[in-house]
Amino acid sequence: MFPTRDFHEKKEKTIYKLTNITFMICLTVMLIFGSLFLTDTISRDISAESFYTLSSVSTESSKAITQMLQSRVDYLNSVWLLLKEEKGDSRQERILRQQNRSSIYNFEWVGYLDVSGKGWNSIGQDVDLSQSRLFHQIMSGSICMVQSPIQTPDGCVWNGIILGIPVYDDEGTFDGFLYQVFSPKGIASLLDIGAFDGQAKFCLMEQDGAIVATSENGIFAIGENIFDRLKEEGDGNQDFAEKMEEALIESRDGGGYYSLLGEGWFGYYLPIVLQSNDAELSIGMLSTLPENLVEMRIDNIFNSVLLLLILVLFYVALLLLFLLRMQRRQKQELERLAYQDILTGEANYEAFKREFKRLQAKGGILMICDIVEFKLINRYFGARKGDAVLRELAKLFAELDGLGKTVARVSDDQFIFFFSGMKEAEVPEKCRELKEQILETLRKLYVNQSNPVFGYCVTDGTEPIERLRGQAMFAKNLAKLERALYHAYDEQAAMELTDTLLLLDEFDRTLEESGMEVWYQPKYDICHKCIGGAEALVRWRGKDGKIISPGRFIPLLEERGKTAKLDEYVFKQVCFQQKAWLEQGLPVVPVSVNISRGSLLASDIVRRYCQILDQSGADQSCVYLEITEDSVQADVVKIIKTFRQEGFYMLMDDFGKGSSNLANLRRDLFQGVKFDKSLIDLIRSEAEETVLRSTIQMVRSMGMQITAEGVEKQEQVDFLESLGCDEIQGYFYYRPMEAGAFAQLLEAEAADGRLLDEIK
Ligand code: C2E
Ligand code: MG
Ligand code: MG
């Protein structure tokens, strides 16, 4: 079994959905990986940037501290220059005078120690530091800076910083030691840089690790040994402490991680070098930053990236939804366009086919409805009116019970119906019902000329739709040809119709090669009991020699607009035939020629016919013209009048065949009326006879001649005779016959004295 179209549609839909889902998953994965990579790169960049910022800040700060301490060293050197002078005051007095400069140089006091470790200071105290840590450093001859508890003259103890330099006399002999005592606040203010929102901490340490000064809220206390503290806090710090110690000894900078107080820290250390003459002091500065600060910054970025990612995903999802919706709408719109008739807005043939497929298994009746002469609506009322009529009809059909989408417009004015499950016996009633509804709709739109015609075929649900449509179309054409309301599909008739259609291709050639014959059907004059005239009827002799009735091909020629050519041909044949018979001395009766509506629409028809008449030399009183009642529309009235003015005898043909309108009986247009066979067939039904009787009486009262067509029975003749009908054309008297047979008949009648003298 082959997969169905539904299966393919479902498969396509599933593939489409899966593609969308896969796209979303891929996009999400890509975005996640992309953002992880981005976050990782940014994290590394942030760490590097934080480290760089910290080191830059530290370097700047260390420069300020170096400058500040170096200026103190320089000051002490300038004091030594003063002290070295041997003249004048004693050294002690000179030191005392330096106290005046304490506020300028921002120190508490300055002091001098000799090589024994004893001396005096600028606040007048004798000092003995021979036993202190400081004294041992002094003796090494280096600059020294220590943090130490200091006792002031008033007995207070505070943490001060002692910065001292060794001094030498002019011979270069070590003389002693000059120092200044100052508060660590001066240094602390230089350490309070406020970097990283105050989270970065700074401290100064002696080379052995003793903390000299720290920034506010520092993590190390003044006086404690940083190396010892770090090692105490954890084994992991060992490496950092050792590297820092080593770097400071070698006057290098460096950095690393350590942990303290249960937190991770990032530290950067650098040396601060002071110089005095040949002596040098190297102390260290440590800048440290909590690791979580960097993490926090990374987290912030990560959160921002995550937010961005969610927003992007949300946006993409929205976009996808929007696109899907748009696509669905487009699909619906396409479907609407594909399954909707643009003109009527109702279901079109494609929709019909879909619905038919769904219901066909049940079998039923497939029917085509055609509005006969719909083109007249367009012609007389305009295309807009024609469209409005089609819209109303489509609406009517769509609203009919049980039809739903099983009705659609298939072409200009043709509709197709599928009556699911309907039996053939129900068709006549359905057609009559539909006809009434259609006429009612047309009446509401003030359109009266058109009539519906139906063709149908029966299906058991196995035949393909196109074949059924073709059959229903054939049946509709048969109904049209037979001027019936409906017709079933008939294989035999269809074949004949096909033959005729093929034959039509040969029409022009046949006409040129005189393959068309003109036959004559005599009309019986009731009053004078003799042949009073005849009707010329065309006959087509096929290749097999068989005669094809005009009923089969004339409606088809009408559809192709070719009847004018035929009419003119017949008219010409009749005119020349009449003239020929006259010249041959044969009797002649008036012969009427059929003029179709198509002929009347050509404006030069009267001129052409007059010309033919003149050329033939026939007597005009022997050539009548017949125009069917349904051809008499407003647009041809003028032509008919012109024919009359030119002296033609005009007959209205087929009166009573369609929807007879007494208003069409116009004395100014026609001298005679031919009652159609359908009216004559009413004879014997009492009620209808009354109608016929009053109609004949009315026509007679108008002074018009009456011919009854299709009379086949004696009682019809009697009835018509009793009413004073003038002529009878029917098989009861004569059938149509070839020209030769007709001439012989007239001759014989004349010989028997049965023709009127004036005719002879
Ligand atoms: P029509 O003009 O009404 O012609 C009368 C038709 O009724 C003829 O059919 C004739 O044979 C038929 N008829 C006459 N008496 C009887 C009767 O007693 N019983 C029955 N059953 N039929 C009878 P025909 O010749 O087949 O022509 C059919 C129609 O074809 C004509 O109807 C006419 O409309 C058209 N037609 C024939 N020849 C021409 C023509 O040369 N030009 C045009 N435009 N139409 C023509
Ligand atoms: Mg006729
Ligand atoms: Mg007729």
Q: For 176-228, write each residue's pLDDT tens digit.
A: 889 999 888 878 787 877 777 778 889 999 888 888 888 887 888 888 899 99
Confidence (pLDDT) at 3: 44
Which residue puts its alpha carbon closest to atom 10 of ligand 1?
A: 736
Beta strands in 154-262 (DSSP E): 157-168, 174-182, 201-205, 211-214, 254-260
In single-letter form, the type of residue at position 503 comes to L
Residues with Cβ < 8 Å from 672, sequence gap 6 or more? 624, 649, 650, 651, 652, 704, 705, 706, 707, 726
Beta strands in 327-397 (DSSP E): 364-372
User: Does residue 697 surpass a pLDDT of 70?
Assistant: yes
**Ligand 1 centroid, distance to 368 Cα (angstroms):** 28
Q: Is 206 exposed, middle or buried (0-12, 13-18, 19+ CB in 10 A)?
A: buried
Pairing between strand 516-525 and 727-729? antiparallel
pLDDT band, residue 2 (cuts 50/70/90): very low
Q: Which residue has the higher pLDDT, 141 or 624?
A: 624
Q: How far apart are CA 470 and CA 321, in angstroms?
A: 46
Write down the pLDDT at residue 621.
95
Name the residue with the closest Cα to ligand 1, atom 21: 710
Q: Across the beta sheet with 144-151, what order do the strands follow?
A: 126-128, 118-121, 109-114, 174-182, 157-168, 144-151
* C-beta of residue 281 within 8 angstroms of C-beta of residue 274: yes
Closest CA to 228 of 209, 247, 204, 245: 209
Lowest-pLDDT range of 73-77, 241-245, 328-332, 400-404: 400-404
- Between the CA of 505 and the centroid of ligand 1 the distance, in Å, is 23
Distance 683 CA to ligand 3 centre (A): 17
Which token pair is 560? 């192709």
**Short-list 268, 230, 232, 219, CA closest to 247:** 268
Strand partners, 457: 366
Whole-number Å distance, alpha carbon 627 to ligand 2 midpoint, is 7
Whether 760 shows a pLDDT value over 70: the answer reads no
pLDDT beyond 90 at 486: yes
Q: How many Å is the maximal CA-CA distance in the chain?
A: 194
pLDDT of residue 141: 78
What residues have CB less than 8 Å from 741, skipping those under 6 apart?
A: none
Instruction: Report how far residue 495's alpha carbon sits from residue 497's, in angstroms, rounded to the nearest whole number.
Output: 5
User: Which span out of 317-321, 404-408, 571-575, 699-703 was modeled with the highest average pLDDT?
Assistant: 571-575
The residue whose C-alpha atom lies closest to atom 28 belonging to ligand 1 is 551
Strand partners, 414: 370, 411
Contact in structure between 518 and 537 (CB atoms under 8 Å): yes
454 confidence band (pLDDT: 50, 70, 90)? very high
Q: Which residue is closest in CA terms to ligand 1's atom 16?
A: 710
Q: Ligand 1: which residues within 6 Å by Cβ?
A: 521, 537-538, 549-551, 554, 563, 566-567, 570, 594, 596, 626, 653-654, 677, 709-712, 729-731, 736
What confidence score (pLDDT) does residue 43 get?
Answer: 76
Nearest ligand for residue 712 CA: 1
Atom of ligand 1 nearest to the CA of 732: 18
Question: In this predicted model, what pLDDT tens digit does every residue of 110-160 receive, in sequence order?
Answer: 999 888 888 999 998 888 888 877 777 777 778 888 888 887 777 788 888
How many whole angstroms separate alpha carbon 367 and alpha carbon 390? 17
Give the residue carrying structure tokens 């960049």. 45
Q: What is the mean pLDDT of the chain?
A: 86
Give how far the C-alpha of residue 5 lies from the chain's centroid of Cα atoms, to the nearest Å.
Answer: 23
| Predicted pLDDT of residue 504 | 79
Pairwise pLDDT comparison (266 vs 592), residue with the higher score: 592
Specify the 3-state DSSP secondary structure of 445: coil
The two counts, helices (H) then strands (E), for the chain are 24, 26
Cβ distance 651 to 643 under 8 Å?
no
Residues 484, 485, 491, 494, CA torsion sign: positive
- Out of 126-135, 345-354, 570-579, 612-621, pick the least confident: 126-135
pLDDT for the residue numbered 281: 86
Q: Is the pLDDT of residue 561 over 50?
A: yes
Can you tell me the distance from the alpha carbon of 188 to that of 220, in angstroms, rounded to the nearest whole number?
A: 13
Distance CA 73, CA 71 (A): 5
Helix (H/G/I), strand (E/B), else coil: 494: helix
**Ligand 1 atom having least distance to the Cα of 599:** 44
Tens digits of residue pLDDT in 319-348? 888 888 888 888 877 877 788 888 888 888
Cα separation, 232 vs 413, whole angstroms = 105
Span 75-86, mean pLDDT? 87
The whole-number pLDDT of residue 368 equals 96
Identify the pLDDT of residue 758. 56
Residue in 482, 554, 683 to alter for ligand 1 test, most ligand atoms within 8 A of Cβ: 554
Region of 165 please: left (phi>0), alpha (psi -120 to 50) or beta: beta
Q: Residues with Cβ < 8 Å from 224, sequence gap 6 or more? A: 210, 211
